[in-house]
Amino acid sequence: MKTPILRTFALAVCVAPLIFSADTSTSTVGGASWSPQAAASYLDARLTWWADWPQAARDHGTFCVSCHTVAPYALSRLTLRAALAERTVSPIESKLIENVTKRVRMWDEMEPYYPDQARGVPKTAESRGTEAILNALVLTSYDAPRGELSPDTRLALDHMWAQQLKSGDSKGAFSWLQFHNAPWEGDSQFYGATLAALAVGATPASYQSAPEVREGLQSLREYLSKNRASQTLVDRTILLWASAKISGLLSPAEQKAIIGEAVAKQKADGGFSLPDFIAGWKRKDDTPLETKSDGYATGVVALALQEAGVPRDRPELQRSLAWLAKNQEKSDGRWLAYSMNKQRDLSSDIGRFMSDAATAYAVLALNRAR
């Protein structure tokens, strides 16, 4: 008898094989083309706006690293370098790296993103835990191609490990900002822990095996393993991605189970819809959730499947990548995704937040397939 995942694969329809063009201006997937240049232009413009947005401003002339716009940007933008024949980081990337580095170096002097005196306890602790992970994620991502860690990146990782919880039910995790906006901004302690795993997963093996790192890393593994079953499918899909970077997060059987659950949500058009990965979620304004395929869910699933070693000739993966190639917005280069909390105007800056993350994950998935 076939296992559920193999049965799902067997029932999938066949699609055209993946073919990528050599032209740096476009890439072709399953007969559809997408533009790395348009994606880069959208991502750069959004980070430029965020860095200057008054609500993102923090002390000492810095800006906060958001889960929806900035962190996905850092993970994805450098992967466009080869496709665009770029030799150096873009000016806005340099500004991001300088911003994060400044906050890392001045850690003890920097005010938390949201201090207790302004937002109430425990916002200082949550801010420190969240920022420490995101700073490490940004800097390790940019160090990864070089295969070595800069002193600033090591310092960012030191700050992260110092924030790791040492006791209680959440031992091994980190305090994480809670604004009751899940899953809009990854408002989940488990999600934050998976990002910490991704940050460590971008480091050289020599770092991960260092005596001062092993205990914290093992504690992180144990937290993710203990709490996996109770998480939403979208968080477990991010864990699937992280498990390809850090050994021991998931067994082969556990990876297979998450893959099976994820691909079972695929829609007839080849895409995925985020509400299908978060059962029972309702918007705060009581408007109906968008049920059509979106760039966020499709990008995350297509990326996680590839990272987990799903062969590129699997129909589900081919169809998801083809959907991404077909659904890049011609007007501005983004992939659309929708707020889970309110019905928002997609042309507004706040209404674009989910599309910022969707565009980053779509880029990661499509470039991974190259």
Q: Which DSSP string corresponds to 248-301?
A: TSS-HHHHHHHHHHHHTT--TTS-B-GGGGSTT---TT-PPPP-S-BHHHHHHH
- Band of pLDDT at residue 19, cut at 50, 70 and 90: very low
* Separation CA 224–CA 249 (nearest Å): 7
Q: Are 241 and 304 in contact (CB under 8 A)?
A: yes
Mean pLDDT within 3-29: 43
pLDDT digits (tens, 9 = 90+) for 251-305: 999 999 999 999 999 999 999 999 999 988 999 999 999 999 999 999 999 999 9
pLDDT digits (tens, 9 = 90+) for 137-188: 999 999 999 999 999 999 999 999 999 999 999 999 999 999 988 776 668 9
Q: Architecture of 4-369 per CATH?
A: Alpha/alpha barrel (1.50)
DSSP strands (E only) in the chain: 27-29, 32-34, 57-58, 62-63
Parallel, antiparallel, or unpaired: how do β-strands 57-58 and 62-63 relate?
antiparallel
* Separation CA 82–CA 308 (nearest Å): 23
Across the chain, what does the average pLDDT equal? 92
Q: Which amino acid is at 126?
A: E
Q: Which two tokens stand for residue 153?
A: 């990146």
H or E stretch including 138? helix 123-143
Cβ neighbour number for residue 78 with a 10 Å cutoff: 18
Q: Are 278 and 233 in contact (CB under 8 A)?
A: yes
Q: Which two tokens stand for residue 43?
A: 């991502």
Mean pLDDT within 98-102: 98
* Separation CA 283–CA 317 (nearest Å): 30
Q: Which amino acid is at 4?
A: P
Mean pLDDT within 59-87: 96
Q: Residue 10 pLDDT more than 60? A: no
Select from 97, 65, 78 the least CA-distant residue to 39.
Answer: 78
Q: Are 353 and 69 in contact (CB under 8 A)?
A: yes
Q: Are 254 and 304 in contact (CB under 8 A)?
A: no
* Separation CA 87–CA 180 (nearest Å): 41
Cα dihedral across residues 288, 292, 295, 297: positive or negative: positive
Least reliable range by pLDDT among 85-89, 237-241, 320-324: 85-89
